[in-house]
Each structure stands twice: as C-alpha cells, then as structure tokens.
Amino acid sequence: MSLVCFILFGAQFSFAQTFTNPLLPSGADPWSIYKDGYYYYTNSMQNRLVIWKTKNLADLKTAEKKTIFIPPAGKAYSKELWAPEIHFINGKWYVYFAADDGNNNNHRMYVLENSSKDPLKGNWVFKGKVGDATNKWAIDGSVFTYQNQLYMIWAGWEGDINQKQEIFIAKMKNPWTIDGERHKISSPEFEWEKHGDLNDAGNPPHVDVNEGPQILINKGKVFLIYSASGCWTDFYALGMLTLKGKNLLDVSSWEKSTQPVFKQSPENGVYAPGHNSFFKSPDGKEDWILYHANSAPGQGCGGKRSPRAQKFTWNADGSPNFGIPVKANQELNIPSQKK
C-alpha cells in the first residue's frame, strides 16, 4: 500500500493512496455516500445499525464508527435488520432499513431521522414504517430524487407468499411517507435471474429473485441496477433496467438488459457479487461501485460476504460498464482526491 505523507502543525500524517479488496473481512449489502469530505458507510449487521466515517476508503477497517440504533425487543422491527442505507435529504440524514420480528414473512421497511450535520452526532429518531397501502413484504428500500420528485424503490412480494421477489417503485410525499400506489417495474424473467433453489425445510423449494435496486443517473439517462437470482447461489449477479419512457411508475417505460451487467468471476476468485451501491470520488470525476461478494463458491448468504469497491466507466451510449469483479488483494488506487 503506497502512502503520501504530509505535515500539519509539526505532526506527520500518512494517507494511503492505494487499497485492496475486501474493504472489511465481512459485511453484506454495503452502502456508502460521500459528503463534506467524508465517506459514510454502512452494511447489514442483523441486530443493530452502524455507521462508519472516514476520509479515505482505504482506512475503512480502522475508521471511526458508531452504533446509531439498537431496536427494542418485542417489536415488529426488532430482528433481522437488513440492507441499511444512509441518505441526506432536505438538510437531514435518513437511514432506511428492513426488519422483522424474527419471521421473514414479516419483513417491512423502516426509517430513522437525524437533523445533525454529522450523522455520528445528534439524535437518531425512529420515524416508523415506510410502506404503501398494501403492506406487503418489503426489503432493500432505496430513495432518489428525479425531476424534483422523491421516489422509493424496493424489493417486494406481489402477494403474501414467498414465491418471487420483484422490484416496486412509488412516489414519496416526504422522506418517511409513500404517496400513492406501488408499481411493479421488474420481475425475474431470464434464466440468469432464476437461480434460486432452496434446500431448507423452513422455506419454499425455489424462489426467483430481483432485489437490491439502485438508481444510477448519467447525463440525463436513468438506469436501475438490481441484484438477480438468490444470494444463496453463486449466480447472484447485477441486472439493469434503462428508462426509455418518461413515467418512472410505468413498467413499459423501462427496458431490461437481456444479460447481467456484473457477475461472478471464477478466474478472479469472486463469487455471487451483488447488492451494490454507487458513489463518486472526492473530486467528483470518478464513478465507483460498492458491492459484496464471496471469495469461494458455495459460501451462500452468510457472514463470508465481504464489501468490495472498484471504479467503473461508461459506454458510448451512456450506459455503465462495470467490467468484471477484481481479485481480492489486488492493489487499486483510492478514489481520486480533490486537488
């Protein structure tokens, strides 16, 4: 790992200029945002919500971190806290997460709010459940603003039975309230989206999966990147929807790519890459993908999943080119810094 040294008030500091994946030994569903000179990072911890704060991605393993929420016992959101995301909206911080009471059938989405400038300070207030009127199973909530309208996207069930996970979208009245109906915009349809056999008496024999939706906007073009197939399989991969129409709530406005845009690389020792997020470099010139993956086949959905980051580029048509997952321990330059 290369270092750049500088002197401040007579003290010498070292700033790592390279890093290697994984960023942490374990951590599924990684999310990061860069704001006011710091990266704020979080991932699934199951029983609590934790935020990391660091100026340098390479220092995540030793970064300052704080537990911001431990749910009280006996609530609908006391267990299985999944896929937290931290967002800054209208001058306040929000953390969205899915949780249940210990029964996966009861997973719903929830949100916390903090008015402090620094999300590791101040008070996190539990704002409650975020859901549409159907109150169906829901996980992996993410929010974004497009043409001055706030939206939420998530993975959900059409009905009340675990058969298929699909992508839904709805407008939001404010950061904690969905406005109107949910609209389904993606369902597993290709072979690579349908690896989902389960060998567990407590679950159905097979589940098709679209989950982990993330919006990516480039020069006015809107893409929705999602995870497909079961995370318990090595075939977990990223798919892409491209907005072709004007109404984000209309399934006909979206065109699905027929092949995954990011998938396992056995030659690089990376399996089941998915549940990603995106962030910009500090100077705003580079685009980065953050995702989790396994280091060996057959490791499934457990604690062996680790967070990884790599830079990506853009194709001539404006769509993202994620390349292939890089090898663990391959030295990479950190995101480009402000001059």
CATH of the domain at 76: 2.115.10.20
Which tens digits make up the pLDDT trace of 219-262?
Answer: 999 999 999 999 999 999 999 999 999 999 999 999 999 999 99
Say if CB 325 and CB 268 are below 8 A apart: yes
Position 10 in a domain? no
Of the candidates 156, 26, 47, 135, the residue with the CA atom closest to the CA atom of residue 99 = 47
pLDDT (mean) for 99-108: 97
40: in domain: yes
User: 130-148: per-residue pLDDT in tens?
Assistant: 999 999 999 999 999 999 9
Residue 211 appears among annotated catalytic residues: yes
In-domain check, residue 13:
no
Q: List % helix, strand, coil for the chain (3-state, nearest 5).
A: 5, 55, 40
Judge whether 47 lies within some domain.
yes
The answer to whether the beta carbons of residues 273 and 291 sit under 8 Å apart is yes
Long-range contacts at 91-96 (CB < 8 A, ≥ 24 apart): 91/115, 92/175, 93/119, 94/127, 94/143, 94/175, 94/176, 95/42, 95/49, 95/51, 95/68, 95/69, 95/124, 96/130, 96/141, 96/142, 96/143
Under DSSP, the state recorded for 72 is P
Selecting among 29, 132, 208, 234, the annotated active-site residue is 29
Residue-wise burial string across 76-110, b where 16 or more C-beta atoms lie within 10 A, e elsewhere: ebbbbbbbbbbbebeebbbbbbbbbbeeeeebbbb
How many domains does one find in the chain?
1
Q: Measured between alpha carbons, how far is 159 from 165 in angstroms, rounded to an integer?
A: 10
Note whether 186 and 171 are within 8 A (CB): no
Q: Please tell me which residue in 85, 193, 208, 211 is annotated as part of the active site.
A: 211
**Does 43 reside within a domain?**
yes
Give the model's pLDDT for residue 285: 96
- Model confidence over 201-221: pLDDT tens digits? 888 899 999 999 999 999 999
Residue 33: per-residue pLDDT: 95
Give the residue among 216, 152, 222, 228 at the shortest CA–CA distance from 186.
Answer: 228
Where in the sequence is the domain holding 302, given as residue range(s)? 18-333
Mean pLDDT over residues 304-323, rounded? 98
1: in domain:
no
In a domain, 3, yes or no: no
Residues 6+ apart with CB under 8 A from 5: 12, 13, 14, 15
Q: What CA–CA distance (Å, rounded) separates 15 from 2?
A: 9
pLDDT of residue 171: 98
Q: How confident is the model at residue 15 (pLDDT cuts 50, 70, 90)?
A: low
Does 243 reside within a domain? yes
250 a catalytic residue: no
The pLDDT of 30-46, averaged and rounded, is 96
In this prediction, residue 58 has a pLDDT band, given cuts at 50, 70 and 90, of confident
- Identify the pLDDT of residue 268: 98
Question: How far apart, in Å, do the first and last CA atoms of the chain sit?
Answer: 21
- Nearest-CA neighbor of 289 among 253, 314, 254? 314
pLDDT given for residue 245 in this prediction: 96
